[in-house]
Chains A and B, each alone.
Chain A
Amino acid sequence: MELILIFISAALVNNFVLAYFLGICPFVGVSNKTENALNMGLATTFVMTLTAAATWPIYYYILVPFNVPFLQYVAFIIIIAALVQFVEMYIRKASPSLYRALGIFLPLITTNCAVLGLALFMVLREYGFIESIIFGFATGVGFTLAIVMMSGIREELEFADIPKPFQGVSITLIIAGMMALAFMGFAGLIRG
């Protein structure tokens, strides 16, 4: 039950993109085509789940026992960068077609603040190991949901007559604001 709550909370109610403003850069940058958005979302979800699984033991079995939790930022970012690199190498070997489809998006996941944010929130909220993995996965699902919805809206927008100054980034952000309002409706699902 607890795990389901964590999942719903991270994917819908406290959506990382729309409630915590994490991962805005790819959200604005890669949301112009639905296909790209979906690929980006899936790759990010994968990295996020792995990040949660990798940072948790390192924080609790290495940083805490040696009494150096202040090194967490340095440690986490190195883990994430290494992980992304590793995932990139693996995908290139295992499935060249997927590798080509993801292209430049893959290395860019390192600088997606949602991934580091996820590791930080995990420590802050003192999740257990299983909870952390669920949290990482749910955050990725929430990110995918937001970016795919946004790309769908933006594809329609190409036919809309938008005043010149509002074109591009501006209208995307205003739509994101409306999506954030809509997502607030999910707050009734759980308390706290």
Chain B
Amino acid sequence: MANSLAREFTKGLWQEIPPFRLVLGLCPTLAVTNSAINGLAMGMATIFVLFFSNVLVSFIRRTISSQVRIPAYVVIIATLVTVADMFLAAVFPQISKALGPYIPLIVVNCIILGRAEAFAQKNSVLPTAADTLGIGTGFILSLTLMGGIREVLGFGSIFGVKLLGEWFEPWIIMILPAGAFLVFGGLVALVNYISSRKAAKAAEAAQAAHGM
């Protein structure tokens, strides 16, 4: 039991890491990652909504008839997003301001509805919790990584701490929209490359074992 829960959790970290593998939730991934802290905050807000909405969906999966399930999910998600939005505005007004309309846009983040459709409505509460926490953590890592790369190249700092000296000429393009597309495209290619290397190695090993 514990073993399978751990597997549900870890698959979100690499095998199905959301923006790179599932290619879902691209809008926030690109829009708010001009600094590491913004990426982190967006990831946190998303995991909150993802976790609670999917656990709730899993709870009521037998009560809701399948014809009206999508509107029901959407209402659950929209309500939780409202909660997250008000919480951020009250406690971290600065972050709330920086993220702007992208917090309410979590409502249409395909990862959340996608997980509800693909996982939560078919599984009981515990595996759903593990699955969403894994996917959510993968999402936070990806956003923070994107934000970190763009912040280092665009401002020469990370989490607001100056990293590179005076000699560094910031790449303005990295904090502009174009930079987001370029960094993300590059990272997707990197993930593809690493996994094709891994697959090739696995195939080689299998062949070697076969040959013996």
Given known A-B contacts A28-B23, A73-B82, A177 and B178 have beta carbons under 8 A apart: yes
A73 contacts B177, C-beta separation under 8 Å: no
A50 within 8 A of B: no
A164 contacts B192, C-beta separation under 8 Å: yes
A173 within 8 A of B: yes
B74 nearest in chain A by CB position: A77
A190 within 8 A of B: no
Cβ–Cβ < 8 Å partners of B17 in chain A: none
B192 contacts A113, C-beta separation under 8 Å: no
Contact partner of B113 among A23, A70, A111, CB < 8 A? A111
B193 within 8 A of A: yes
Cβ–Cβ < 8 Å partners of A71 in chain B: 82
Contact mask for chain A residues 79-96; partner B; CB cutoff 8 A; 1 contact, 0 none: 001000000000000000
In the assembled complex, the Cα of A72 lies from the Cα of B101 at a distance in Å of 12
Q: How large is the interface on A (under 10, 10 to 19, 20 to 34, 35 or more residues)?
A: 35 or more
In the assembled complex, the Cα of A169 lies from the Cα of B192 at a distance in Å of 10
In the assembled complex, the Cα of A169 lies from the Cα of B190 at a distance in Å of 12
In the assembled complex, the Cα of A170 lies from the Cα of B113 at a distance in Å of 24
Q: Of residues 41 to 84 in A, which have CB atoms within 8 Å of B's CB atoms?
A: 70-74, 77-78, 81
Cβ–Cβ < 8 Å partners of B79 in chain A: 74
A186 within 8 A of B: no
A30 within 8 A of B: no
Q: Of residues 115 to 169 in A, which have CB atoms within 8 Å of B's CB atoms?
A: 115-117, 120-121, 124, 163-169
Q: Of residues 172 to 197 in B, which have CB atoms within 8 Å of A's CB atoms?
A: 173, 176-182, 184-186, 188-190, 192-193, 196
A8 within 8 A of B: no
In the assembled complex, the Cα of A28 lies from the Cα of B186 at a distance in Å of 15
Contact partner of A174 among B26, B81, B101, B181, CB < 8 A? B181
In the assembled complex, the Cα of A23 lies from the Cα of B105 at a distance in Å of 11
Contact partner of A117 among B85, B101, B190, B192, CB < 8 A? B101
A78 contacts B75, C-beta separation under 8 Å: yes
Given known A-B contacts A174-B182, A184-B178, A166 and B189 have beta carbons under 8 A apart: yes
Instruction: Summarize A's interface: helix, strand, loop or mixed.
Output: helix
In the assembled complex, the Cα of A120 lies from the Cα of B184 at a distance in Å of 26
B86 within 8 A of A: yes
B60 within 8 A of A: no
B82 contacts A169, C-beta separation under 8 Å: no
Cβ–Cβ < 8 Å partners of A11 in chain B: none
B104 within 8 A of A: yes
Cβ–Cβ < 8 Å partners of B82 in chain A: 70-71, 73-74
Cβ–Cβ < 8 Å partners of A24 in chain B: 26-27, 30
A40 within 8 A of B: no
A77 contacts B192, C-beta separation under 8 Å: no
B145 within 8 A of A: no
Cβ–Cβ < 8 Å partners of A171 in chain B: 185
A169 contacts B196, C-beta separation under 8 Å: no
A112 within 8 A of B: yes
A111 contacts B110, C-beta separation under 8 Å: yes
In the assembled complex, the Cα of A115 lies from the Cα of B188 at a distance in Å of 26
A165 contacts B192, C-beta separation under 8 Å: yes
10 extra interchain contacts, Cβ-Cβ under 8 A, other than A25-B24, A117-B105, A176-B185? A19-B177, A21-B177, A24-B30, A72-B104, A113-B109, A165-B193, A167-B192, A173-B188, A174-B186, A177-B178
Q: Which residues of chain A have a CB within 8 Å of any CB of chain B? A: 18-25, 28, 70-74, 77-78, 81, 111-113, 115-117, 120-121, 124, 163-174, 176-178, 180-181, 184
* Cβ contacts A to B, 20 pairs, < 8 Å: A21-B30, A22-B105, A25-B27, A25-B110, A28-B23, A72-B104, A73-B104, A74-B78, A117-B101, A124-B100, A163-B189, A168-B192, A170-B186, A171-B185, A176-B185, A177-B182, A180-B181, A181-B173, A184-B176, A184-B178
